[in-house]
Amino acid sequence: MPKFKNQSTLQRIFLGKHDRSLGFADIDIPMLFISTFLLFFGIVMVTSVSLPLTSGTLNMTLSHIQKIFIAFVFALFAFRMPMSFWQKNSIYFLMFSLFLLILVFVPFIGKEVNGAFRWIRVLGFSFQPSELMKFSLIIYISSYCIRKYDEFREEWLGFFKPVFLISLSILLILLEPDLGSSAVIFIVSFSILFIAGAPLKHLISIFIVGLFTFIGLIFTASYRIKRIMGYLDPWNNEFAEQLRASLSAISNGQWFGVGIGNSQMKEGFLSDAQTDFIFAIITEELGIVFSLVLILAFSYLVFRCFLIGRYARQNDYIFGCLVSYGTGVLIALHVFINIGVSTGLLPTKGITLPFISFGGSNLMLMFVLITLVQKIKIEVNFSNKVSV
């Protein structure tokens, strides 16, 4: 069995005792480079959004860096664990996530913002349980589809078991209410079930039920109808102020932007400039050309996830394959919805831009998932070396 002799202290810190025979040689460098670039670019943009330089600017930047550090600690923990750990314990992570989704409704624990209960306040930090649920469902569905492969593919009950837990998770998130995260979870879960080989008739049934459910939820809430009306006619609708400001910011940027820190729309026009509409500020300050480069960077990051997923499947590592594909779909959805909202392609919905938007919950989610995809490639490569 080949081993990495003379292991460095850095390897021992990152890889842990059980993985002493693994090394860094098989890390996906393009993925590491792009995610690191996006991370540091996010620090620059969070600072830029809060300019001119004041104590508030420094507080927001330091808070963002602090959240990055916390996310890094969780990612380090994830990297030290073998993928078998996540596969065996996926149900426990799912149950814990469900418990946290219930806690958001408990007085003095759940935090209300603009009438929505989406956060839990812990030790001075606000945490969004729906982000943890995205992670938990990716690893749980991936694990279930392998453990119950025959039952999952051949029996309706075997297919219904994960669908029930997915539906329960979505229901709790809808009660917050958070239709955007619910839609993301539904599509990511549906994608993993499809890739895992679920029967087409079962998938079509759940897709139709899900589609009509979301349409019904839109038209049974007045504020969602107002968002749709603002989306259809943003220039003549009082409920589309954010979208008009976002489109104006993009228009101001033209091809090469007005320069870092020189955005006009961030000054009171875009209330969520550091989160949901940060892409509009990026385009205003750095221009359409840079925004296209940013979209290509995200696209290549998603492509690397899919590539590693295919590589894992070719080596009969189905759990790693499903987690990698699920991660790629999740990142793609976040990017598509965030940019789609900023450009008027989609109705207004609060979804952050991965690695860039201000906020700790999504940063933690993306850090851990990208780390797991890296670990998948390392483990597949190592298993190939052992079998030689």
> Phi, psi (5° rounding) for residue 358?
-70, 135
pLDDT tens digits along 123-161: 666 788 899 999 999 999 999 999 888 788 878 888 888
CA distance 55 to 221: 40
| Domain spans, the chain | 27-80+242-388, 87-220
The pTM score is 0.90
Find the range with the poorest average confidence among 99-113, 132-146, 170-184. Answer: 99-113
pLDDT for res 224: 77
Nearest to 380 by CA among 325, 321, 303: 321
Crossing angle for the helix pair 55-80 and 360-387, to the nearest 10 degrees: 30
**pLDDT tens digits, one per residue of 67-100:** 899 899 999 999 888 899 999 999 999 999 999 9
Q: Name the token pair of 309.
A: 């997923």
Burial 316-340 (b: 16+ CB within 10 A, else e): ebbbbbbbbbbbbbbbbbbbbbbbe
Share of the chain above pLDDT 70, in %: 86
Kindly indicate the confidence band of residue 371, based on its pLDDT and cuts at 50, 70 and 90.
very high
